[in-house]
Chain A
Amino acid sequence: MINIIWVALFCIGIFYAAINGTMAQVNKAIFSSASEAVTLCLGLASVLIFWLGLMKIAEKSGLLDKLAHLFRPLIRRIFPEVPAGHPAMGYIMSNLIANLFGLGNAATPMGIKAMEELKKLNGGRNTPSRSMITLLALNTSGMTLIPATVIAIRMQYDSKAPAAIVGPTLLATLCTTISALLIDRYFYYRRKRKEKK
């Protein structure tokens, strides 16, 4: 999918320029955009180094595990089919906490582990269980406490308050997560009704 979009952006742009006589601007854009992307990445490095460095301390000191423990009662309600004390629960919590702190790289392996355990609970079938879809919905809604990359890019473009979007982002992410859970529940009950018929 992304391959098609990427190629289309170039081709449509160049054809459009050929028709509208904007080829000079297009030529300029090719090289200025590329060099700008590199500068942007170097700017990103500062925030990513700082934030992931800090997160390493949180991870190794056991702070993330402690937080996961705090959220246990809530998570249990969201995943009613997972028995208490099942390893899937631990992985689900680590995955969600890592996501919350913007640790995408740490979250993915935990999420995959959780999926493996959930698949075992589902009798190894190759169709997703309710819990698997719920976990996926929680991940795709992108709960993040601090959107570090976004702040870094805002800094690069001289924002007066690069972190001003933290509060609104948190609120928006909460809306997305809650609606993901509600939509997930709706589809679940719809599936159940269909099965009854």
Chain B
Amino acid sequence: MAVITGLSLWLIPILIVIILMYGLYKRVPAYELFVEGGKEGFSLAVSIMPFLVGMLTAIGVFRASGAMDALTQALRPVLSVIGMPPELVPLALLRPISGTGALGLMAELIKVHGADSFIGRLASVMQGSTDTTFYIVTVYFGAVGIHKIGDSIKVGLLADAVGVICSVWIVTWAFGP
């Protein structure tokens, strides 16, 4: 566990030093490249704005009406088996379908339950540890004209499910329930 928290603390600074030193060694214009890449980062942040407005509003309405609470209460007995809080079920279901949708839902969970709560941490790990399976299959196979997707959706979704269960265990183990 100490290794995991240590890794969290050191990984980013170490990566920064490695990237900058290597850039210096290769004599690339580091600052200009940083600005160039930063512009892409800014347009990325702006381009996801409509997605987040759409998603957060829909989720906000769903939660404010009381429907979210009704849903999580109904799911509670089933999920207590793997130690997963029912609040996270909507996130687990949305994650493979829509990346920005899941991002909005994660932000909402962190806002309601707190970033350093069990639910907030678990939502963060779940968001970071799987990807948008349906989107990736559609884009990659669509682009090269593969019409029969074979087993790929099944593989992706099963791996996502394993990822969710692993996330629950790892977060419980690293931070305590």
Say if the beta carbon of B82 comes within 8 Å of chain A. Answer: no
Docked CA distance A109–B48 (Å):
19
User: Are the C-beta atoms of B28 and A111 separated by less than 8 Å?
Assistant: no
Docked CA distance A38–B57 (Å):
11
- With known contacts A22-B65, A45-B46, A183-B155, A169–B41 Cβ distance under 8 A: no
Q: Can you list the 3 inter-chain pairs with the closest CB atoms, starting with the nearest? A: A56-B37, A142-B131, A33-B60
Docked CA distance A4–B71 (Å):
18
Docked CA distance A107–B31 (Å):
23
User: Are the C-beta atoms of B15 and A145 separated by less than 8 Å?
Assistant: yes
Instruction: Count A/B pairs, Cβ under 8 Å.
Output: 364
Majority SS at the chain A contact face: helix
Q: Quick one: which of A159-197 are within 8 Å of B by CB?
A: 159-173, 175-177, 179-180, 183-184, 187, 191
Instruction: Report B's interface with A, CB cutoff 8 A.
Output: 3-9, 11-12, 15-16, 18-20, 22-23, 25-26, 28, 30, 33-42, 44-46, 48-49, 52-67, 70, 94, 96-98, 101, 103-104, 106-107, 110-111, 114-116, 120-121, 124-134, 136-137, 139-141, 143-152, 154-156, 158-160, 162-163, 166-167, 170-171, 174-175
User: Are the C-beta atoms of A26 and B28 separated by less than 8 Å?
Assistant: no
Interface range for A: 35 or more
| 15 additional A-B residue pairs with CB within 8 Å, beyond A12-B62, A57-B37, A167-B4 | A2-B101, A30-B60, A41-B48, A58-B23, A108-B139, A133-B155, A140-B155, A144-B129, A160-B115, A164-B175, A167-B7, A168-B167, A173-B128, A173-B130, A175-B129
> A134 — nearest CB in chain B belongs to which residue?
B155
User: Are the C-beta atoms of A137 and B152 separated by less than 8 Å?
Assistant: yes
User: Are the C-beta atoms of B121 and A168 separated by less than 8 Å?
Assistant: yes
> A141 — nearest CB in chain B belongs to which residue?
B159
Q: Quick one: which of A13-57 are within 8 Å of B by CB?
A: 13-14, 16-17, 20, 22, 25-26, 28-30, 32-34, 36-38, 40-42, 44-45, 48-57
